Amino acid sequence: MERGESISLPDTFMPDFHDKDAVLRMPYKTLGQTGLKISALSFGASSLGNVFRSTNETEGIEVVREALRQGINYIDVAPWYGHGLAEKVLGKALEGIPRTAYYIATKVGRYQPEVDRMFDFSAERTLQSVDESLQRMGLDYVDVIQVHDMEFAPNLDIIINETLPALRKLQQSGKARFIGITGYPLKNFRTVLEGSTIKIDTVLTYCRACIHDSGLRDYTPFLKEKGVGVINASPIAMGLLSNRGPPDWHPATKEIKDACAKAAVFCNDNGCDISRLAMAYTLGFPGVDSTLFSTASLENLRKNISSVYNPLSSKEEEILKEAIKRYIDPLTKCHWEGVEVEEYKRQLQGIHNQGSFKLG
């Protein structure tokens, strides 16, 4: 058990709502210096916004409630997920559940599907966004308010000098308890944490503490030194580490996709599910306070929770090590930093060029 872990009942435990035995089985860690004791497995509500596939709202609502009953007490959402839909469905799911039974984190900065309306890190839009999120979810406050995918800002100075001070105002007003930053490029966390005069309590990244990419390991000592809580999302790397494979839009290089596909086949041929191995790998990743996953399926929810209680067998551990040795270690580059930002800039420039032509 790592320092900060606990098997005692968390502050979010409600006798009339929770399955006490399940809560006692769930490991909890303190999120940085926030004092929040959060579950080792946390729930990402992006699936409620039909981000990955069309989902059944009724089942999605039950997934949230069952996740909470089973001891998951940290939920992450954003206006971007379904462009408000995920927050609305989440609000329905939380109706009637005591507010003290869970922690909620949402985000600012990323909003609409249109490229020229997708991002806005201005102070004015930031303040407005939080009010909109609270209204959608039917809440008076969130526990953590985060800057969403800050690498898409024109520059990080805007995050440091405008977005974060706006979040501090929200914190002072009581609409948010703690402040976080999120993104894919790891070096940005160091830049913003060292440059900000606003205290940052949490960071959230994704696909960086996974079988194919353990890059977060190089940053966790710095983050812990800063007293920052660390959340890693997408243990199966947005489908890379699954038998189904990633969606067409996945930004990984062909080299990474091919290596992960071969690893999945190798695991399957040896009687192992690569998704289970991937979850176990991330759950055991040092320096991570919680692993964030998303689903709108009760079956997948139970499968993910089961991963917490059922460690890998010796055979599964051997297959995992061999898969990494054969297919992952030879990778020349294990991440796709910059790919999505460059594509976004290319599309944005195209829109600006069209506008200039029309004006001319």
Q: What is the mean pLDDT of each run of 10 residues along the chain (360 residues)?
A: 62 96 96 98 89 74 97 97 93 97 98 94 98 98 98 98 98 98 98 98 97 97 97 95 92 97 98 96 96 92 94 97 98 96 94 57
Residue 353: the pLDDT is: 81
Give the pLDDT of residue 275. Answer: 95
Q: What is the DSSP-derived secondary structure letter of residue 135? A: H
Q: Which residues are catalytic?
A: 81
Strand locations in the chain (E): 5-6, 28-30, 37-39, 41-44, 74-76, 103-108, 142-147, 176-182, 202-206, 229-233, 290-293
* Residue count of the chain: 360
Q: How far is CA 144 from CA 39, 41, 180, 202, 247, in A?
A: 15, 17, 7, 8, 30
Mention every residue, 6+ apart, whose C-beta is less than 8 A from residue 295. Answer: 47, 63, 301, 304
Instruction: Give the torsion through C-alpha atoms of 299, 303, 305, 308, to 10 deg.
Output: 180
pTM of the model: 0.94
pLDDT of 360 reads: 34
Non-local (6+) Cβ contacts of 233 within 8 A are 44, 76, 204, 205, 206, 207, 291, 292, 293, 294
Residue 110, token pair as written in the block: 């990323």
H or E element, residue 326: none
* Cα→Cα distances 171→91, 167, 176, 216, 229, Å: 21, 6, 5, 28, 17
Nearest to 178 by CA among 4, 36, 12, 6: 36
Query: Residue ranges of the alpha helices (H) in 70-208?
Result: 85-94, 123-137, 156-158, 164-173, 187-195
Q: CB-hemisphere CA count at 13 Å for 337?
A: 15
Reported in sequence order, the residue ranges of 109-241 that DSSP labels E, i.e. its strands, are 142-147, 176-182, 202-206, 229-233
CA distance 243 to 142: 36
Q: State how far the Cα of 110 lies from the Cα of 132, in Å rounded to an integer.
A: 13
